Structure formats: structure tokens, C-alpha cells
Chain A
Amino acid sequence: MNSPQVISETVGGETIIVNLASGHYFSLQATAVEVWNGLERGDAAESIVLELEHRYEANDGEIEAAVKKLIEDFAGAELIVEDANGNGAGSGGLPPQDAGERVPFIAPSFATFTDMQDIILLDPVHEVDTQGWPHASTGT
């Protein structure tokens, strides 16, 4: 995750992501939520693909390609960044759970909203360290 500038919440099965640096926000549904939640947990992309393949019916390579594309799109929107070790998605991940009967896969996607970006362009915020706050000159 590109924190703290990216924050997100999942409610009612949908995820809302806000990029506080760009002012863009995003709405994720269905399989995109599952991918995002996996990334939040620190799961590796391969692990997320395995999890989805366990749950959804799709052509060979379809889920892997869709997840790869979605992660690229997340990175393009600066919602995720490589970690300090140069890794993209995390390296962990839970073993796939038995999900019962698989259902047809619907490729993940997300909606981008840019109507609030003017706030960031016109009224940006610069956070400074407390040591950076100015004081009156000594003697005043």
C-alpha cells in the first residue's frame, strides 16, 4: 500500500480508496475488492491468483492476466508502491480455502473519480517536522 497517502475502507462489499496526494478516489467492486484486500494483507500476487482460481471458474491464465493488469493499474494510480526491498505485492499469503463450487470469473476493474483533485491542486498540504516550525528570533 502507498500509505499514508492512500487510505481505504470496505463497506457493503465495495471498497472506497482515497489518494490524498492526488485527490483522486476510487470505487472497487467484486473481484477487485478481493485483490485489494489481498494486497492489504501483504499477499503476493501469485497467492491472490491462486485464491481466486480456487474460487472462480475461468480460462487458463485468465485470472492471472486480470490480476496482473489490475495491480499495474493500481500502481499507475499510485495506490500501491514497491516496498523497501523492491517487492511489489507482498510475499505472504494464506493457503487457498475450500470455497465450494466455483462461479464464473468476472474480470476486476475499478472506477476513478477526479472531481476533487482541484482541492489538492489549489490547496495542497505540506507536512513538516515539528523542528521545522518557525519561532520568533531570540529576544523578541
Chain B
Amino acid sequence: MPLPAPETAEGTLDRSIGELEKSFEGAAQAAELVERSICIGDAHVRLRFAGGALAEQLGRAFDHLAHEKSDEPDLTIHVWDSADSGTPPPPLPSLARGSPRGTTVYTADEGRHFACRPALQQLSAYERAAGRAWFWSGNAHELPFWEPAAPFRQILHWWLPDRGALLLHGAAVGRKGGGVLIVGAGGSGKSTCALSCLTSELLYAGDDYVGVQLEPEPSVLSLFCSGKLEPDHAELLPHLPSPSFAGDGALEEKSVFYVAERFPERMCRGFPLRAIVAPRVQGAEPQLTERGPAQVLAALAPSTLLQLVPARQEALSAMAGLLGDIPAFGLDVGGPTDLIPPAIERLLDELPS
């Protein structure tokens, strides 16, 4: 149900964009401006942080995508917080009384999106025509554990479709010539599958969210070099480094690992997509079975669409189209984790390249 318009509401998103520009510039003047360039697929993305601590915290997940680029970026993301910069927050929408803390207030016009979680003090915005985006938080050091592990997901969800790609909830591992997308809701074994492959020759492109370029051939685009696991699942993978964030399982807290720091040679920026795999935590050893595309769509689409805004028919149709082109499999992963990488490698060996 739409919220009533706040009393201060007037004008259009032109003014809102101007206010974000002003808020960021104030923060960048107050704190040290740090710029980093990364490549997502063949796109140049510039990250502009107001403060070195912020760059360290929210830039870490992109370390494997770092690139020296001097050309004009395809997307520039402005990142600041009020705690580090000592600047006031940009105008934020208010929540109706009794709203859950995670409530997102969203608005958009042609080519511009704004999403804010007022209670969590987070705001994301994107302006397609200028290739610009903004991410503000009240205190970046108090962001929930999943934000530094996969920063700017909302912005990437808006921007990737403008480049013929989708942000998908899934892990991806493979070889330079092709790999698999691993899909499923939380607890399905995605992360365990992906992180278990770090002991093999398989490359790692992400464990929770990846981009998938749809044309000219479906390809995985790595976004984040992080990995997240339930603390007790992490014990099954002793090769993992000490977690950067040691979740204790309370409030669904997971442990966060930065794979690029321990296994830089295993990180990759992407690969052609050869198969989609939906794991299940069952069975004594990995068992691959062919799955109908609708079954795998059910494993992929709701968990992707329900976590980002807006969720639209076009995104579901694009996912269905992907499943029409790419073979889908189920994979039982209830047994020893060291048997998972060989099962995925065998699948890749058998698939046409």
C-alpha cells in the first residue's frame, strides 16, 4: 500500500538527484575522496568513496575486479556515510508507524530509481542517462554483515539490465571456457558447493550474487569476491581462511570470507555459462540429475526477485529465457564436500563447449 506523501514532498526526482549530488560532495570535501576503478564484464565502473575507511569496507568485495582505467566510466557509484564524514543525511522518506525495520521505500521515474530503508539508514539511487549512482548509509561501520560482502546490489540490479544482463541470486564456478550457475534459496547448499571448489582447479566467480550477461551468449559476470557460510558449515571447509566477519548464527548471521585474499589465483571475472545447477543437501555422495527448467526457475526466480526492488515480469521472463537455452541439473550435496568439485568438473567435461 503506498505511503502518504510526506509534507515536505514537492517537485520531481530532478531535485532529489541534485540533493544527493550536494550531500555526496559535502561528504567528499569533509573526508578524503578515494576513487577505484573496476571492470564488470567489459564495463568500467568507478567507485568514489568519501573516506578511506569506507573504501576499505565497501570496496573489498571488488578487489578481484580492480582495473586501471582512464576512460570515461560506464557507471560511477558515489558512496558516503554521515558518521565518517560528519555530514547530515540526505532527505529520507519516513515509515508508517509499525513498519518492519527492513521496509524499503521505493520510487522511480523513467530511468531513475530510488530505494531507501529508513530504519536501517540506507539509500540507493540510480540515474540511467548519466550512468551515475549513489549509496548512502548513516554509519557504514554498522551496516549488516551482508552489505560489505555484496555491496551495491540494489544499484547493480538497476544497472545490469541496461547492459543486457541480470543480477541473479546464485553462485558460479567454472573454467575459462565455461562454468555453472548454482541456484537455490538460502540453505540449499549454494555457498558450500562454490566454496568447496576452491580446493580444485575450478575458478570462483561468486557464492551469492552474480551477473549473467544474456547476449551474445549467456555468460557469468563475477561481482563479489566474498563468500558467506553458516558458521557450522564453514567447519566443513577447513581450507577457508579465518572469516573476516565471524557470524555466530544468531539472527541468521553468517561468516564472511574474502576469497580473493586467500585464493587470488582461483578468482575470475566470469566465463561462458554452460549449465545451471540446483543443489540439495541430501544424499551420501554428489549425484547429478537432469531437472526440468521450471523446477530450476522455481529455485532461482523467487529468491532473486523477492530480495530486490522492483521485481518485474521482464526479469522473470529473462530468467525463463535463460533456462530455455541452458541445460539444468539437480545436484545432491549431502555427502563429503571434497566430492563436489569432481562432480562439477565431470559435468563440464560432458557438456558441449
Interface residues, chain A, with chain B CB atoms under 8 Å away = 3-4, 7-16, 18, 20, 23, 25, 27, 113, 115-116, 119-137
Could you tell me the distance between the alpha carbons of A11 and B297 in the complex, rounded to whole angstroms?
8
Q: Which residues of A contact B316 (CB under 8 A)?
A: 7-9, 16, 18
Decide: A122 and B102 in contact? CB cutoff 8 A.
yes
A54→B158 CA distance, assembly (Å): 46
Q: Verify B19–A136 contact, CB threshold 8 A.
A: yes
Q: Are B5 and A127 in contact (CB under 8 A)?
A: no
Give the chain A neighbours of B104 by CB distance below 8 A.
Answer: 123-126
Tell whether, in the assembled complex, residue A128 and residue B2 are in contact, meaning their CB atoms are under 8 Å apart: yes
Q: Across chains A and B, which 9 residue pairs bring their CB atoms closest together, nearest first? A: A14-B294, A123-B102, A9-B320, A132-B5, A12-B293, A134-B91, A7-B313, A11-B320, A25-B302
- State the CA gap A20–B306 with chains docked (Å): 7
A71 to chain B: closest CB distance in Å? 21
> What are the residues of chain B within 8 A of A130 when measuring CB–CB?
12-13, 107-109
B298 at the interface (CB under 8 A from A): yes
Minimum CB distance partner of A136 in chain B: B91
Partner of A133, one of B114, B298, B310, B319: B114
Distance to closest chain B CB from A50 (angstroms):
27
Q: Across the two chains, which residue of chain A brings its CB closest to B108?
A: A130
Asked whether any CB of chain A lies closer than 8 Å to the CB of B92, the reply is: yes
Contact flag A132-B13 (CB < 8 Å), given A116-B303, A126-B103: no
Decide if A12 touches B6 in the complex (CB within 8 Å): no
Q: Does A11 lie within 8 Å of B324, measured CB to CB?
A: yes
- CB distance A127 to B91 under 8 Å? no
For B15, the chain A residues whose CB sits under 8 A away are 135
B residues in contact with A116, CB < 8 Å: 185, 302-303, 306
CA distance A125 to B305 in the complex (A): 12
How far does the alpha carbon of A10 sit from the alpha carbon of B317 in the complex, in Å?
A: 9
Q: List 9 interface pairs A-B (beta carbons < 8 Å), by A numbering.
A: A10-B294, A12-B323, A14-B295, A15-B294, A18-B302, A116-B302, A122-B101, A125-B310, A130-B13
Whether, in the assembled complex, B105 has its beta carbon less than 8 Å from a beta carbon of chain A, the answer is: yes
Interfacial chain B residues near A120, Cβ < 8 Å: 306
The distance in angstroms between the C-alpha atoms of A23 and B311, with both chains bound, is 11
Which of B107, B114, B292 contacts A12, CB < 8 Å? B292
A123 to B324, alpha carbons, bound, how many Å?
31
Residues of B within 8 A of A20 (CB): 305-306, 311
Q: How far is the CB of B185 from chain A (nearest CB, A)?
A: 6
Closest to A29 in B: B294
The reply on B16 being an interface residue by CB < 8 A is yes
Q: Is the CB of B293 within 8 A of A128?
A: no
Q: How far is the CA of A120 from the CA of B307 in the complex (A)?
A: 9
Are B307 and A126 closer than 8 Å at their CB atoms? no
Mark interface residues in B1-40 (1 if CB within 8 Å of A CB, else 0). 1111110111111011001000000000000000000000
Give the complex CA separation of A116 and B320 in angstroms. Answer: 19
Chain A nearest CB from B25 CB (Å) reads 14
- Enumerate B251-292 residues with CB–CB distance to A below 8 Å: 292
Nearest CB on B from A78, distance (A): 14
Q: Is the CB of A135 within 8 A of B185?
A: no
Residues of A within 8 A of B101 (CB): 122
